Amino acid sequence: DAAAANLEKARVALAYARSELRRAENLFAAKTLSAQELEAAQLREAAAVKDVAAAEASLQEAEARLADFSVNSPGVTSRPPVQVLAPAGTRILRVFEESSRVVPMGTPLVEIGDPTDLEVVVEVLSRDGAVILPGARVEFEQWGGPLPLIGRVRLVEPAAFTKISALGVEEQRVNVVADLVTPPEERSTVGDNFRVEARIVVWEAEQVLKVPVGSLFRRGDGWSVFVLQNGRAHSRPVKVGRSSGIETQILEGLQENESVILYPGNRVRDGQRVRPISV
């Protein structure tokens, strides 16, 4: 139907172009039209002829495809269905060709895969990807289950790419590919292209003394905290180690169970009396 409609449209355009050409020739004979305008009318008529020829060819091609596909077309021998075998015992994940039609060789028909053998691709900033090593443990959250899924980093791709963040900032990111370690029976509802949130463990240790990042402030070239002792704030320099962005490891300067002031700001002074509050 679309090919026939395109042919009819081309024929109407050709009729109009020929009518316009006749008027242009009469006006040119009467010396009221320039030669350039006459040539433009001739060019439009020639282009319309080519459009009709192309539309006729498209219609013939569509009719040939229909005749080749239809088993009831007179004079056409029906062909048996072609059996396409999957290379492995998997499941169909996506169907590309939902309608019955003739397709050329090499056209993708379906996408198949094994939902029990999944990998997860995580986008991270390139500066974070530089410290991630193969074998690092990954926890996948927000997948729909009560407990995180566990995975292991298999590959950090060697090339980064530029992506615009939600704030409109250009960022260099890199893909981290991880394999799921959690048994398939514990994640049977997770499938292809599902979204998860990943936490990649780049370092971990037992018995770590740590404080919230908001309790640290710069003093000179080092870091300090305000420790609460006997109702007063006392500034104390500390030596920091690793940081997760939320909590920071303390190597020297604090003892376990000591209380620190969170977000002290500029209003807290050394020796100032303070009263702890719970939030």
What per-residue confidence (pLDDT) applies to 77?
Answer: 57
Task: Tell me the per-residue pLDDT of 109-163, one tens digit each, with 9 for 90 and over.
Answer: 888 888 888 999 999 999 999 999 999 999 999 999 999 999 999 999 999 999 9
pLDDT of 90: 79
Joined tokens for residue 272: 């100032």
d(CA 175, CA 268): 44
Average pLDDT over residues 266-270: 87
Query: Is the CATH code 2.40.420.20 the one for domain 205-279?
Result: yes
> Which is nearest to 173 in space by CA: 223, 129, 233, 133?
129
Q: Higher confidence at residue 79 or residue 98? A: 98
pLDDT score for 116? 85
> What per-residue confidence (pLDDT) applies to 127?
93
pLDDT band at 61 (very low <50, low <70, confident <90, very high): confident
Q: What is the pLDDT of residues 150-204, one digit of tens each?
A: 999 999 999 999 999 888 999 999 999 999 999 999 998 998 899 999 999 998 8
What are the extents of the domains in the chain? 2-69, 119-200, 205-279
The mean of the pLDDT values for the chain is 88
Residue 12 has what pLDDT?
A: 93
The per-residue pLDDT for 147 is: 93
| Cβ atoms of 213 and 261 closer than 8 Å | no
- Look at 1 and 24; give whichever has higher pLDDT: 24
C-beta separation of 154 from 175 below 8 A = no
Fold for the domain defined by 2-69? Helix Hairpins (1.10.287)
CATH class of 119-200: mainly beta
The residue that leads in pLDDT, 70 or 65, is: 65
Q: How far apart are alpha carbons 184 and 188 in whole angstroms?
A: 6
86 versus 259: the higher-pLDDT residue is: 259
Q: Are 42 and 21 in contact, with CB atoms under 8 Å apart?
A: yes
The CA-based dihedral angle spanning residues 144, 146, 147, 148, taken in that order and rounded to the nearest 10 degrees: 20
Read off the pLDDT of each residue in 87-109 and give the average, rounded to a whole number: 80
Is residue 226 within 8 Å of 264, Cβ to Cβ?
A: yes
Flag whether pLDDT at 76 surpasses 70.
no
The pLDDT of 29-50, averaged and rounded, is: 91
Is the predicted pLDDT of residue 229 greater than 80, yes or no? yes
Asked whether residue 75 carries a pLDDT value surpassing 60, the answer given is: no
Query: Could you give the CA distance from residue 122 to residue 202 in angstroms, rounded to a whole number?
Result: 14
Q: Would you state the pLDDT for residue 67?
A: 67
Percentage with pLDDT > 90 across the chain: 54
Q: Is the pLDDT of residue 249 over 80?
A: yes
Q: What is the pLDDT averaged over residues 234-252?
A: 92
Which residues, 6 or more positions from 184, have their beta carbon under 8 angstroms from its beta carbon? 116
| pLDDT (average), residues 209-231 | 92
> Is pLDDT of 72 > 80?
no
**Strand locations in the chain, DSSP E?**
91-95, 110-113, 119-125, 137-141, 149-156, 161-164, 170-180, 197-200, 210-212, 217-219, 222-229, 232-243, 247-252
